[in-house]
Amino acid sequence: MENSYSYEVSSITVPSLTLESGTTLYNINLAYERTGNKDGPVILVCHALTGTHIVKGTSEDQGWWDGLVGPGSYIDTDLYNVIAFNVLGGCEGSTGPTSTDLETGGRYGPDFPHITIRDMVHSQYEALQQLSVERIEAVIGGSLGGMQALEWGALYPTYINKVFALAVSPALNDYGLAFNHIGITAIEGDPEFQNGHYPHGSILKGLEIARMVGMVTYRTQELFDRRFQRVRTNEQYNVESYLDYQGKKLGKRFDPNSYLTLLKAMNTHDIGRGRGGSEMVADSYPCELVSISYEGDLIYSPQYLKEFTLQVPKGEHYFIPTAFGHDGFLVEFEKWGGIISSHLKNHQDQKIVTGMK
């Protein structure tokens, strides 16, 4: 088993992909991380809005799900081969607004075509074909990643066995659309945005503000109050300096056009779009669907996800009590990681008996 363990960060090229809009992209590059037992069943991980394909990472540079994925962990890389792609439209090595448009020779910038969650999934499927992956045991993701996971079950049901959808809902509701609109308006209204033609590498205040708005929705009032307690330092409340820091941190590493591309893709998320509605999709959803909601998630209603999941013939839903709200899928793995490992093992040696079903 030890000899079959490998770790790789690379990229794959998809020759062409026709988007839902009808536009065809050529020579699409998708950056990926592949780790674990190279002979084991494949698990595909889909990342969230500002996440990356570096899920496991290394001891020197840990990935964002290092606490969930690894040897002997909840997603056991001694048993499974774990693959994650940076999404189409991203800015961490995959084709997106910062990439070169082969027709013009310049960066796509604001001219990068509109994409949907379904386009992301199609691009990953084509990339997996290039990697000679014949079948996926499970796909898992939270938030934007959860949107992709749900779509995998609808688009390629014979290619996968299990779908793990975390901190998501069958469609992005109007509350989520509203917050995305604020973020989009903040970026596009920044004078430095220049209709998307800002110099490459620019740090825009509009993006920083959009990030601040997002951060407020990711966690709960309880957590904010407990952490900051109205304390002021240097004439500024600590919660204000925290949001300033988070905005600047993202602004330094994320492309504004890419952020817009992904927000607008999230707006398209509706599992029932063009399929007769979410209830019809649920009734005929062929894969095993395991969904997990987190207490205090402002955007992705636990009740909405529960209702959808319980309509799925092979659906089970879990509710995790937490003060972290939406960000629950990034922390406190001891509360819900066992759910993942149990379902991967088909409930053998189950150690977790939690939540609502």
Catalytic center residues: 143, 297, 326
Q: Phi-psi bin for 6: left (phi > 0), alpha (psi -120 to 50), beta? A: beta
What's the half-sphere exposure (Cβ side, CA atoms, 13 Å) at 305? 32
DSSP for 16-39 reads: EEE-TTS-EEEEEEEEEEEEEETT
Vertex 270, ends 343 and 133: CA angle to 5°?
A: 50
Bridge-based pairing state of the strands 75-76 and 69-70: parallel
Q: How far apart are CA 158 and CA 164, in angstroms?
A: 16
Buried b / exposed e over 241-269, threshold 16 CB at 10 Å, is ebbeebbeebbeebbbbbbbbbbebbbbb
Angle at 337 between CA 133 and CA 288, to 5 degrees: 50
